[in-house]
Amino acid sequence: MIWLALGAAILALLVAVGRGRLTARSVSRLAVAALATAAAGGALFEALRAQWIGSVILAGLAIYVGQAARPPAPRGAAPPQRHGMSPAEARAILGVDEAATVDDIKAAYTRLMKRVHPDAGGAPGLAAQLNAARATLLG
C-alpha cells in the first residue's frame, strides 16, 4: 500500500512538472513537506514499537520541519479593509445604469435575489453582495 501511495505521489509530481506548474521554490517546499511526512511516519512506527523516546523526537522533528514547509506570512501592514462599495460597483452588480430609478433598482434586486437567495439554492455570498448593492444605491 505504501508503494502505491509513493507511486501516486511521484506520478503527480511528474505531471505537475510536465505542465510547468512547479517552480524551484514550490519543489523545495514539497521536498520539505515530504521530509516532515516521513518523520511523522517514523514517529508512528516507533510508537507502535513502544519506543517512546524515538517517537517523541521524530514527532517533534516532523512538527518543526512541517512548519518550514508553510509559506511565509506577508510582512508589513495589512491591506486596508474596504467598508461598503462604490455606486458604480453597486450598479454593475445589479445590472442597472446610472439613470436607473428607484423602481428599476428594486426590480433588478428582486429579480436577482429570486435566483441567488440561499433558500432557493443560491449562495449566501451573492445574496450579501446584492443586499450591499441595494443598500448603497437606495441609502
pLDDT at 132 over 80: yes
**pLDDT tens per residue, range 22-50:** 666 667 777 777 777 777 888 888 888 88
Burial of 75-106, coded b for 16+ CB within 10 Å and e otherwise, reads eeeeeeeeeebeeeebbebbebeeebeeeebe
**pLDDT tens per residue, range 5-22:** 667 767 766 666 666 666
The structural architecture, per CATH, of the domain 87-138 is: Orthogonal Bundle (1.10)
**pLDDT tens per residue, range 60-112:** 878 887 777 676 667 765 555 555 788 899 999 999 999 889 999 999 999 99
Alpha carbon distance 14, 25 (integer Å): 16
Give me the residue spans of the domains in the chain: 2-69, 87-138
Cβ 129 vs Cβ 117: under 8 Å: no
Alpha carbon distance 50, 101 (integer Å): 76
DSSP label at residue 119: G
Alpha carbon distance 46, 43 (integer Å): 5
